[in-house]
């Protein structure tokens, strides 16, 4: 470094560019010109004394220096957004907005009644819902692009580092075994071994529910054959209804599905649902967290 202080806004801009994947995309999101963004990044590089981005035809990637700065950049971006929101609230500016990032099943089962009650009590507040598939989303909370993240952890998977954020276990969702109606084992509590010869329905390799299924099988020395790959639990239930296979599914999505729902004798997986938010959440975010925890 050349002795100059690092400009906070330029550092925050680094986080925007890395997330967007290119200078042009970041400029579009921020309503700047690409030339202006490029000039600010060049000024940041002079302040730091080294390149923060490698430029290539398809966009940009952070250099080792840029990667080392990224966590600081995200934190700075978040504090700047928080400062702007505080000033608007104190000076009677535009009504507030709460942005929630969530995985799909929480967005269809857990959140709608809570958001509806929140809206009735705070009709002036804007609500925004983003589809964020775990383990993604922590960086969005750090930068305050998302005020509250609803995320999960399946058996066999680890939680990401909390990165200085507050993370609260909200609930555990029980998974049930779902079989076609009339299946030969539908009347009892079959073991996973009894189902080893069945065609299974689960996510693609590397997805959370597939990792969970493989973890359960490995613990018992079994090899389960996944014939149909989908991470959409409504599609899972439709395939089971059609008699095409068996699966584990969270209780909250079963609804009126025409399937046999039962317990597995030797496997009872559940997934943890967590709330992630800044350590000092804004009052509206704290209100929403309180409603979800009731």
Judge if 232 and 289 occupy the same domain: no
Mean pLDDT by 10 residues, the chain (294 residues): 76 91 91 91 92 92 94 88 77 77 94 96 94 94 95 94 93 96 94 96 95 95 96 96 97 92 94 96 93 95
**Are 111 and 176 found together in one domain?**
no
State the pLDDT at residue 115.
Answer: 97
Structure confidence at residue 191 (pLDDT): 96
**CA nearest neighbour of 103 among 227, 267, 250:** 250
pLDDT of residue 84: 80
Q: Report strand pairing: 148-153 vs 270-277.
A: antiparallel
Look up the domain containing 37 and give its range: 8-90
**Does some domain include residue 109?**
yes
Q: Is residue 282 in a domain?
A: yes
Tokens of 62: 């952070």
Q: Is residue 86 part of a domain?
A: yes
Residues 258 and 127 in one domain: no
Query: Is-contact 111 95, C-beta < 8 A?
Result: no
Domain membership flag for residue 1 = no
Domain ends where: 90, 109, 132? 90
Please state, in angstroms and rounded to a whole number, the distance separating the CA atoms of residues 176 and 189: 11
Contact 250, 173 (CB under 8 A): yes
Asked if residue 3 belongs to a domain, the reply is no
Beta bridge pairs of residue 56:
59
Three-class secondary structure of residue 29 per DSSP: helix
* pLDDT score of 83: 82
Whether residue 161 sits in one domain with residue 285 = yes
Ramachandran quadrant class, 150 (left: phi over 0; alpha: psi -120 to 50; beta: rest): beta
Q: Structural domain tally of the chain?
A: 3
Residues 187 and 259 in one domain: yes
130 and 267 in a single domain? The answer is: no
Whether residue 126 is found in the same domain as residue 150? yes
Widest Cα–Cα separation across the chain: 75
Do residues 13 and 48 both lie within one domain?
yes
Residues 166 and 289 reside in one and the same domain: yes
Q: Residue holding tokens 């080294």?
A: 50
Does 266 lie in the same domain as 282? no
Last residue of a domain, one of 38, 70, 90: 90
Looking up residue 24, the CATH number of its domain turns out to be 1.10.10.10
Structure tokens at 278: 């800044």
Residue 23 forms part of a structural domain: yes
Cα–Cα distance, 60 to 53 (Å, whole number): 6
What pLDDT score does 93 carry?
62
Shortest CA distance to 248 belongs to which of 177, 191, 197, 152? 177
On whether the pTM is more than 0.85, the answer is: no
User: Is residue 2 in a domain?
Assistant: no
Give the end of a domain, one of 64, 90, 116: 90
Same structural domain for residues 13 and 82? Answer: yes
Give CA–CA dist 59/177, Å, rounded. Answer: 45
CATH number at residue 195: 3.40.190.10
Same structural domain for residues 159 and 34? no
28 within a domain of the structure (yes/no): yes
How many CB atoms lie under 10 A from the CB of residue 25? Answer: 17
How far apart CA 261 and CA 178 sit, in angstroms, is 5
């Amino acid at each position: 470094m050349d002795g100059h202080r690092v400009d906070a806004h330029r550092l925050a801009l680094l986080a925007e560019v890395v997330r967007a994947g290119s200078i042009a995309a970041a400029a579009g999101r921020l309503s700047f010109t690409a030339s202006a963004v490029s000039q600010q990044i060049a000024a940041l590089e002079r302040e730091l004394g080294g390149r923060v981005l490698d430029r290539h035809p398809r966009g940009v990637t952070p250099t080792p220096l840029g990667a080392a700065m990224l966590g600081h950049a995200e934190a700075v971006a978040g504090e700047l957004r928080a400062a702007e929101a505080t000033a608007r609230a104190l000076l009677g500016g535009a009504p507030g907005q709460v942005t929630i990032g969530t995985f799909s099943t929480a967005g269809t089962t857990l959140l709608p009644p809570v958001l509806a009650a929140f809206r009735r009590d705070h009709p002036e507040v804007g609500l925004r819902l983003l589809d964020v598939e775990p383990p993604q989303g922590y960086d969005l909370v750090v930068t305050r692009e998302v005020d509250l993240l609803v995320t999960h952890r399946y058996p066999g998977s680890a939680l990401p580092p909390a990165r200085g954020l507050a993370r609260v276990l909200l609930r555990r969702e029980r998974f049930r075994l779902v079989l076609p109606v009339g299946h030969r084992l539908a009347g009892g509590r079959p073991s996973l071994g009894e189902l080893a010869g069945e065609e299974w329905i689960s996510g693609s390799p590397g997805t959370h529910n597939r990792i969970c299924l493989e973890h359960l099988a490995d613990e018992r020395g079994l090899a389960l054959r996944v014939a149909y790959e989908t991470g959409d639990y409504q599609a899972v239930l439709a395939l089971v209804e059609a008699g095409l296979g068996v699966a584990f599914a969270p209780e909250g999505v079963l609804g009126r599905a025409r399937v046999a729902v039962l317990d597995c004798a030797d496997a009872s997986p559940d997934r943890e649902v967590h709330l992630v938010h800044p350590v000092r959440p804004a009052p509206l975010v704290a209100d929403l967290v309180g409603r979800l925890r009731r």
